[in-house]
Amino acid sequence: MNSKINAVKGMNDILPPESARWEWLEDKVRELMARHAYRMVRTPIVEPTALFVRGTGETTDIVEKEMYSFEDRLNGEQLTLRPENTPGVVRAAIEHNLTYDGGKRLYYMGQMFRHERPQRGRYRQFYQLGAEVLGFPGPEVDAELMVLAHQLLADLGLANVRVELNSLGVPAERRAHREALVAYFERHAALLDADAQRRLHTNPLRILDTKNPAMQEMVQAAPQLLDYLGEASLKHLHTVQKLLDACGVPWTVNARLVRGLDYYSHTVFEFITDELGAQGTLCGGGRYDGLFEILGGKPTPAVGWGMGIERVLELLVLQLGEFGAPAPDAYAIVPAAEALPLAMPALQALRAEGVKVQMHAGSGEGMGSMKSQFKKADGSGARYALVFGPDELAIGMVTVKALRDGTGAQVQRPLGGCADWADTLKA
Ligand code: ATP
Ligand code: MG
């Protein structure tokens, strides 16, 4: 026997019945986005490596150690499997001059790749759903995006997700804060771990993000960016907060919520649950007014978020229980293969009317006994069996037998006019 080949570590197959939850979520997302007038974008999974080095940031975990990068064997191009979708969306917007006639509201869903240590809620291939609003500078779109994420979680039926919010101000305000922060960390150099020491001069803001328990107290007392914000930045933040209040989205300020890159400005936020252990951040986002320029575009304000679909679905199962695809309405029992040329078109006619029909499939030897077919029909969860027996077929009829209402009632229906009785099979 040949040796068996398994999936790459940290990359999951999504199979029934779980896959039904994915379809359900994707349908909810499409419907929600349409109601908010956001439109779908799909960008390539492979992009030039430089897009992420510049667009995600050289000093981020993603670029420092998580990217799947490779050289194109045929032409030597440096390529990377996308670890996130924002740089791809902005690249596409620049390349196709998407904002030439005004701002755009966009969303995406798809695979991202990060070489992390696989664990609960952390995979090497995972799916993100994201929304990006390009071309609008005002706090109202920051608020709209947060309301959108909140609404999605509500539509899915999730509870106990909190919203943390912060402002990163503008680059000049961050520079002043950064100086104070570096000076503070230098005074506490003895407490810095190796990671923090390395970041002290490349990306000190990220030290605030540390998960090292030994550093928590020191980091808690570090200078806060909020204290360095000027009037305009504070006004932006307060407007977002006021609009969230008006829409009934509760929030708290987390002064340590940061993104250590210069192209971020103003609003940053996360949606967090305490029910998924360490991987509790469902959604992270913020305003990235500087990114278009970094990627060679015209200055264009922009804001967006990304949400981890695996984490959202895991929380959904925790809170609401497992569910799969609904059972078919009817199961077609075909006693003899000779009946198939009559049965199959009838099933197509029923399906065309919206009835969910599963057809019995034979063993290769034959279709199987009536008893075994009825057992399969029962197991399928269908409410009706459609019996294509020789007697009823001879008079142009099919027998419809109730499987689940306890009556076992049978009626005969004309094969010729399936559309006329299709509705009687629907839930
Ligand atoms: P974390 O701190 O958990 O590593 P992050 O800051 O790297 O998150 P973002 O880049 O903001 O995450 O991505 C947005 C969302 O995508 C996260 O909030 C999370 O829900 C999800 N996510 C990120 N990395 C992974 C992963 N490796 N596996 C599954 N989901 C992930
Ligand atoms: Mg990460």
Ligand 1 pocket test, candidate residues 126, 209, 282, most atoms within 8 A of CB:
126
Q: pTM value? A: 0.94
Q: pLDDT > 90: what percent of the chain?
A: 93
Confidence of residue 381 (pLDDT cuts 50, 70, 90): very high
Residue (of 243, 241, 341, 327) closest to 16 by Cα position: 327
Residue bearing the CA closest to ligand 1, atom 21: 308
Amino acid in the structure at residue 218: M
Q: Which ligand is nearest to the CA of 259?
A: 1
Phi first, then psi, for residue 193 (nearest 5°) are: -80, 175
Choice among 39-48, 155-164, 202-211, 372-381 with the minimum mean pLDDT: 202-211
At what angle are helices 309-320 and 18-35 packed, to 10 degrees?
Answer: 110
The pLDDT mean for the chain works out to 96
d(Cα 232, Cα 263) in Å, to the nearest integer?
18
Q: What is the pLDDT of residue 242?
A: 98
Atom of ligand 1 nearest to the CA of 312: 20
d(Cα 115, Cα 123) in Å, to the nearest integer?
8
Q: What is the pLDDT of residue 227?
A: 95
In angstroms, what is the span from residue 15 Cα to ligand 1's centroid? 22
Atom of ligand 1 nearest to the CA of 130: 14
Residue (of 159, 125, 127) closest to 316 by Cα position: 159
| Planar angle of CA 156, 158, 160, nearest 5 degrees | 160
d(Cα 184, Cα 186) in Å, to the nearest integer?
5
Amino acid in the structure at residue 397: M
Q: What is the pLDDT of residue 103?
A: 98
- Is residue 148 helix, strand or coil? helix
- Does residue 257 carry a pLDDT above 70? yes
Residue 403 near residue 377 (C-beta atoms within 8 A): yes
Q: What is the pLDDT of residue 209?
A: 83
User: Which residues are part of a known binding site?
Assistant: 84-86, 114, 128, 132, 259, 263-264
Overall average pLDDT of the 157-162 stretch: 98
Confidence of residue 203 (pLDDT cuts 50, 70, 90): confident
- Does residue 128 carry a pLDDT above 90? yes
Q: How far is CA 51 from the centre of its chain?
A: 22
Q: What is the DSSP letter of 311?
A: H
In angstroms, what is the span from residue 61 Cα to ligand 2's centroid? 7
Residue 362 near residue 337 (C-beta atoms within 8 A): yes
Phi first, then psi, for residue 89 (nearest 5°) are: -65, -45
Q: What is the pLDDT of residue 120?
A: 95
Confidence of residue 327 (pLDDT cuts 50, 70, 90): very high
Structural domains of the chain in order of their starting residue, each with its CATH number: 18-169+229-320 (3.30.930.10), 330-425 (3.40.50.800)
Atom of ligand 1 nearest to the CA of 83: 10
Q: What is the pLDDT of residue 352?
A: 98
Q: What is the pLDDT of residue 341?
A: 96
Atom of ligand 1 nearest to the CA of 270: 18
Could you tell me whether strands 357-359 and 384-387 are parallel, antiparallel, or unpaired per DSSP bridges?
Answer: unpaired
The 10s digit of each residue's pLDDT in 350-362 is: 999 999 999 999 9
Residue bearing the CA closest to ligand 1, atom 12: 284
- Does residue 285 carry a pLDDT above 80? yes
d(Cα 115, Cα 109) in Å, to the nearest integer?
20
d(Cα 214, Cα 221) in Å, to the nearest integer?
13
349 Cβ partners below 8 Å, 6+ apart?
Answer: 418, 419, 422
- Does residue 95 carry a pLDDT above 80? yes
Q: Which ligand is nearest to the CA of 126?
A: 1
Could you tell me whether strands 397-402 and 39-40 are parallel, antiparallel, or unpaired per DSSP bridges?
Answer: unpaired
Helices (H), 61-170: 61, 86-95, 139-156
**Helix-strand-coil split of the chain, %, nearest 5:** 40, 20, 40
Residue 272 near residue 250 (C-beta atoms within 8 A): no
- Is residue 125 helix, strand or coil? strand
244 Cβ partners below 8 Å, 6+ apart?
Answer: 143, 146, 147, 163, 165, 250, 251
- Does residue 259 carry a pLDDT above 80? no
Residue bearing the CA closest to ligand 1, atom 2: 281
Q: What is the pLDDT of residue 365?
A: 85
Q: How far is CA 368 from the centre of its chain?
A: 43
The 10s digit of each residue's pLDDT in 57-77 is: 998 899 999 999 999 999 999
User: Which residues are part of a known binding site for L-histidine?
Assistant: 84-86, 114, 128, 132, 259, 263-264
CA distances from residue 337 to 59, 118, 134, 334, 354 in whole angstroms, order as listed: 65, 49, 59, 7, 25
Residue 143 near residue 243 (C-beta atoms within 8 A): yes
Q: What is the pLDDT of residue 235?
A: 98
Q: Which ligand is nearest to the CA of 258?
A: 1
Q: What is the pLDDT of residue 260?
A: 67
